């Protein structure tokens, strides 16, 4: 089983536009769809669709639209009661696949609600092969809350996918509180390392940056690079995966799908190169789907992903 935490869940609403977004004008949508969201929820949905047991842990009100939407998906979830409903995240998708996201900040969690979430997470972690801490933190939650959770989850394999202040707080404590897996994009890798994000534009520069994170105690760094694919760096080596040519329709959830693909391959005992291959296959499949739709195994073809081993050269 895999357990995911989504501290700041959402209803993800996608508006498909028939042409390029034109600011200041009235535009009519081709379609509008809504799905339960938040990064941890997305990961759990992809895992469940692949037949791997997953439980999503999240805060929600008893009558929240999010809870009803989760029930309709068939996803296993555990809700900790909170005072406010889930935020609404809006995605505008243009005809060429260009995606604009407008995310609400979410609602504060009290100290008691955070404690209950942590307790449920630790309880479920006893039977989990991975725990995923994923996404932003709501207002009022301390930036170092993921660090606190990692301390409580010692002995469990943990993957972290976050950004900005929570990621920087973790970066300051990596030597003492390193997760087994980090999944940054290029901007988030810059936040982890303090490097200029403009320099992290491809495998040649991303690999040594990720290797510096591994040197601080993280077992593996899966760095997703959009159309450039992804890089995996471990203490044993580094690999770059090139995605297949696709027609992008929406990038929403692509990183979450990539993380789920990596975990699926890991559970199957795959070698690092094949874990990366399946991660990129899932991420590419997500980008080819409309709106917030997430891939199932029939969308995914790892055979079209090319993986190359790379040398790790110190970053200068």
Confidence band for 306, pLDDT divided at 50, 70 and 90? very high
The pLDDT of residue 314: 61
CA dihedral sign, ordered 138, 60, 57, 76: negative
Tokens describing residue 41: 């929820």
DSSP H/E element including 12: strand 10-16
- Asked if 250 contacts 289 with a C-beta cutoff of 8 angstroms, the reply is yes
The pLDDT of residue 234: 97
Task: Report d(CA 229, CA 314) in Å as an integer.
Answer: 21
Sort strands 158-161 and 31-37 into parallel, antiparallel or unpaired: unpaired
- Asked if 191 contacts 209 with a C-beta cutoff of 8 angstroms, the reply is no
Mean pLDDT, range 288-310, rounded to an integer: 92
The pLDDT of residue 249: 78
The pLDDT of residue 98: 85
The pLDDT of residue 201: 80
3-state secondary structure of 171: helix
Task: Report d(CA 153, CA 118) in Å as an integer.
Answer: 9
Is 76 catalytic? The answer is no
Distances (CA, A) of 148 to 171, 215, 222: 13, 22, 22
The torsion angle over the Cα atoms of residues 273, 262, 99 and 138, rounded to 10 degrees, is -140
- Residue of 158, 155, 136 lying closest to 145 (CA atoms): 136
CA dihedral sign, ordered 166, 168, 173, 179: positive
Mean pLDDT, range 207-233, rounded to an integer: 95
Mean pLDDT, range 262-276, rounded to an integer: 98
Tokens describing residue 60: 């929600």
Residue range 54-99, pLDDT digits in tens: 999 999 998 888 998 998 888 999 999 998 889 999 989 888 878 8
Residue range 125-166, pLDDT digits in tens: 999 999 999 999 999 999 999 999 999 999 999 999 999 999
The pLDDT of residue 62: 80
The pLDDT of residue 309: 96
Mean pLDDT, range 280-300, rounded to an integer: 91
Q: Is the pLDDT of residue 12 over 70?
A: yes
Give the chain's domains with CATH numbers.
Answer: 2-21+30-310 (3.40.1190.20)
Average pLDDT of the residues of the chain:
93
Task: Report d(CA 197, CA 99) in Å as an integer.
Answer: 21
The pLDDT of residue 182: 98
Tracing tokens 């450039």 back to the chain, one arrives at 228
Q: Is the pLDDT of residue 241 over 70?
A: yes
The pLDDT of residue 315: 57
Angle at 47 between CA 306 and CA 66, to 5 degrees: 130
Task: Report d(CA 230, CA 181) in Å as an integer.
Answer: 14
- Asked if 140 contacts 114 with a C-beta cutoff of 8 angstroms, the reply is no
Distances (CA, A) of 292 to 32, 37, 76, 77: 10, 8, 19, 19
- Asked if 158 contacts 133 with a C-beta cutoff of 8 angstroms, the reply is yes
Residue 92: CA count within 13 A, CB half-sphere: 12
- Asked if 33 contacts 92 with a C-beta cutoff of 8 angstroms, the reply is no
The pLDDT of residue 252: 80
Active-site residue, selected from the candidate residues 64, 256, 266, 274: 256
């Amino acid at each position: 089983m895999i357990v995911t935490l989504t501290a700041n869940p959402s209803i993800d609403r996608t508006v498909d536009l028939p042409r390029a977004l034109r600011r200041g004008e009235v535009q009519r949508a081709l379609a509008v769809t809504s799905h339960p969201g938040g990064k941890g929820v997305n990961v759990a949905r992809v895992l469940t669709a692949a037949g791997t047991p997953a439980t999503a842990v999240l805060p929600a009100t008893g009558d929240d639209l999010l809870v009803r939407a989760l029930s309709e998906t068939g996803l296993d979830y555990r809700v900790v009661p909170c005072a406010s409903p889930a935020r609404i995240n809006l995605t505008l998708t243009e005809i060429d696949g260009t995606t604009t996201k407008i995310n609400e900040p979410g609602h504060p969690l009290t100290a008691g609600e955070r404690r209950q979430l942590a307790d449920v997470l630790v309880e479920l972690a006893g039977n989990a092969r991975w725990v995923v801490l994923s996404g932003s933190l709501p207002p009022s939650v301390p930036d170092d809350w993921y660090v606190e959770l990692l301390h409580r989850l010692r002995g469990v394999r943990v993957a972290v996918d976050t950004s900005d202040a929570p990621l920087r707080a973790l970066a300051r404590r990596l030597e003492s509180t390193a997760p087994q897996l980090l999944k940054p994009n290029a901007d988030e890798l810059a936040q982890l390392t303090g490097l200029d994000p403009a320099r992290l534009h491809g495998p040649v520069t991303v690999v040594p940056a990720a290797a510096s994170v591994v040197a601080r105690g993280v077992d593996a760094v899966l760095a997703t690079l959009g159309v450039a694919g992804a890089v995996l760096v471990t203490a044993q080596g580094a690999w770059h995966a090139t995605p297949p040519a696709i027609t992008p329709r929406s990038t929403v959830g692509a990183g979450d799908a990539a993380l789920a693909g990596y975990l699926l391959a890991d559970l199957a005992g795959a070698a690092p190169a094949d874990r990366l291959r399946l991660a990129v296959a899932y991420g590419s499949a997500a980008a080819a789907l409309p709106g917030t739709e997430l891939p199932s195994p029939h969308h995914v073809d790892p055979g079209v992903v090319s993986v190359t081993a790379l040398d790790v050269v110190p970053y200068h």
